Amino acid sequence: MQVSTRAEAFDRWIRGPFVELNTELEEQYFRQADHAQVEGIGDSLKATLRDEGHVHIVGLLKEGNTGDGFRSAFNVLGNVGLYLAALRRHELTNPAREERSPFPEASSLALHVGASLGMAPRFATSHLATHNQAIDGVRKSFTSLRDELLFIDENTRGILALQTAADALTRIVHLGVTNPAADVLFATAKRALEDVLQFNQRLFEQLDVQRFFYCVRPYYKPYRVGRLEYRGANAGDFSGINELDLLLGLCRANDPYYTNLLVDKMSFMLPADQARLRECMTFTSLLDELLGSLEHAGSGWFRANALAFLEVCDLFGQYAAQHHDGLVKRFIEDPAAGLSKSAQQGLTASGPPLPVLLRSLEVLRDMRMAAPRADMPSRHEDLQRLRFALRPV
Ligand code: HEM
């Protein structure tokens, strides 16, 4: 059998029986009075999922060469990752009770392909979002539940729009922030951020809290590959969001808190995104460029672009508040509050206990909003200086 044929057969299984088995299991769990009850339910479906996937994986592993071009290798990595994430979701593996993954073949395949691509050996957000190739209108997912598809689609739209905004700001770096032609790029960034606000609002209104919490989110838990535990994917695993942070100047690459976060997420990004982020870390932020020519604040050429810059910052701050105070609160914090302490374990994609994760997400929100906080690096005062210099006289 050719490399591509085995990889294609696995892909067909992931897009077909895998989705049907997960969907049926979700329906069975959700019918229980305790929606969080997974153990002892649908055991034969779980065994089918585990064993059918295993046959594909053993075939691919024997073949030894999964690197039939980036696209094919990336796709195999995503498919093994979806398989392992589903086994984690159905409690066929749980990093808290194991020292190594009970699925050595899947681990070997994921490690081999992941290392050859320069990515973490698990599925990443790009597998289900920006690089989730649809066949006849159907993109990959764990289940065919309406709420999972809504979540995937709106996440993808949000990521695409944030990438558009980041692209536009990156082009400004090469023009200089006071270049008159930068006006079209600021306008593109503004439109793109307004789009993100709209997509997130739609998600907020249309996603069912219970379905998301009990049937979608559990596929994003950490799991072991070989000996090591890898955190789950989240919609932030693309470089565009951090390019916006750095280009606007709201977060800085010499801030150890922020840069730890960048280093942690590098391997969850596509190699092309990793390269973009590295390059972006070498640029001077637009805010610092503007502050550097503040003595010209009275000139028309400074004013127009500086005002456009501030509008982009405001929209970005609104996005950050909406993500944290809207989406995270409604779909994770509130439903988690009703769970016991032990059920709260393993709730988050990155692994730390929920209150710890929430605090770190709060810090990010406040950096992006340039909040007046003295206990963390915030550009509040710098933005105030800029606003003050631009006040109508
Ligand atoms: C139901 C909707 C959503 C919920 C409940 C949610 C929740 C979360 C949580 C809990 C994290 C932290 C991940 C972890 O370590 O466990 C996170 C990270 C992140 N999410 Fe979301 N999210 C949602 C949708 C989105 C969307 C649509 C976007 C982009 C348009 C997005 C962008 C991000 C980003 C950029 C991060 C990384 C942290 C950061 O840089 O802010 N999220 N999200």
Give residue-wise pLDDT tens across range 256-309: 999 999 999 999 999 999 999 999 999 999 999 999 999 999 999 999 999 999
| Predicted local confidence at residue 180, as pLDDT | 96
Ligand 1 lined by 328 (C-beta under 6 Å): yes
pLDDT beyond 80 at 340: no
With a 6 Å cutoff on the Cβ, whether 193 touches ligand 1 is no
Distance of CA 105 to the CA centre of its chain: 27
Q: Which residue lies with its CA nearest to atom 3 of ligand 1? A: 327
Q: Quick check: 331 pLDDT over 50?
A: yes
Asked whether 365 lines ligand 1 (CB < 6 A), one says no
Nearest ligand 1 atom, CA 364 = 41
pLDDT of residue 50: 98
Ligand 1 centroid – CA 233 distance (Å): 10
Q: Quote the pLDDT of residue 59.
A: 93
CA-wise closest residue to 216 among 344, 81, 89: 89
CB of 81 closer than 6 angstroms to any ligand 1 atom: no
Residue 162 has pLDDT above 80, yes or no: yes
Q: Which residue owns the Cα nearest ligand 1 atom 26?
A: 155
Nearest-angstrom CA–CA distance, 105 and 220: 21
Please, how many CA atoms are within 13 Å of residue 74, restricted to the half-sphere of its CB? 18
What is the Å distance from ligand 1's center to 7 Cα? 31
The token pair that represents 191 in the structure block = 């439109």
Please say if the pLDDT value at position 356 is more than 70.
yes
- Cα of 316 to ligand 1 centre, how many Å? 14
Structural contact between residues 196 and 162, judged by C-beta atoms closer than 8 angstroms: yes
Q: Is the CB of 251 under 6 A from ligand 1?
A: no
Q: Which residue's C-alpha comes closest to atom 23 of ligand 1?
A: 327
Per-residue pLDDT at 345: 63
Q: Which of 59, 238, 239, 218 is nearest to 148 (CA)?
A: 218
Q: Please work out whether the CB of residue 141 comes within 6 Å of at least one atom of ligand 1.
A: no
Q: What is the mean pLDDT of residues 186-204?
A: 98
pLDDT at 44 over 70: yes
Distance from C-alpha of 105 to C-alpha of 111, rounded to nearest angstrom: 10
| Mean confidence (pLDDT) of the chain | 94
Cβ contact 256:381 at 8 Å: no
Indicate the DSSP class of residue 284: P
| 2 has pLDDT over 60 | no
Whether residue 4 is predicted with pLDDT greater than 90 in this model: the reply is no
**In 10 A of CB 86, how many CB atoms?**
25
Query: If you average pLDDT over residues 162-176, what whole number do you get?
Result: 98
Q: Report whether residue 196 contacts ligand 1, using a CB cutoff of 6 Å.
A: yes
Distances (CA, A) of 68 to 19, 59, 75, 117, 118: 25, 15, 10, 11, 15
Measured from the CA of 196, which atom of ligand 1 is nearest? 30
Who wins on pLDDT, 179 or 67?
179
Is the confidence at residue 1, as pLDDT, over 50? no
What confidence tens digit (pLDDT) does each residue in 51-87 have?
A: 999 999 999 998 876 667 788 899 999 999 999 999 9
* Best residue for ligand 1 mutational test, from 230, 245, 319, 323 (most atoms within 8 Å of Cβ): 323
Q: How confident is the model at residue 353 (pLDDT cuts 50, 70, 90)?
A: confident
Ligand 1 centroid vs 304 CA: distance in angstroms?
33
Sequence-ordered alpha helix ranges (H) in 90-220: 104-117, 125-128, 146-175, 182-206, 209-211
Distance, in Å, from the CA atom of 178 to the CA atom of 303, rounded to the nearest integer, reads 9
Q: Among residues 68, 61, 357, 308, which one has the least CA distance to residue 175?
A: 308
Rounded Cα gap, residues 23 and 19, in angstroms: 6
d(CA 220, CA 232): 5
Q: How far is CA 348 from the centre of its chain?
A: 13
Which position has the token pair 């066949």? 135
Ligand 1 geometric centre to CA of 320 (Å) = 10
C-alpha 56/C-alpha 269 separation (Å) is 26
Element (H, E) at 60: helix 43-63
Q: What pLDDT band is residue 123 in, cutting at 50, 70 and 90?
A: very high
> Of all atoms in ligand 1, which is nearest to the CA of residue 330?
5
Pocket lining: 332 vs ligand 1, CB cutoff 6 Å:
yes
From the alpha carbon of 261, which atom of ligand 1 is closest?
Answer: 40
CA of residue 333 to ligand 1 center, whole Å: 13
Which of the two residues, 232 and 342, has the higher pLDDT score? 232
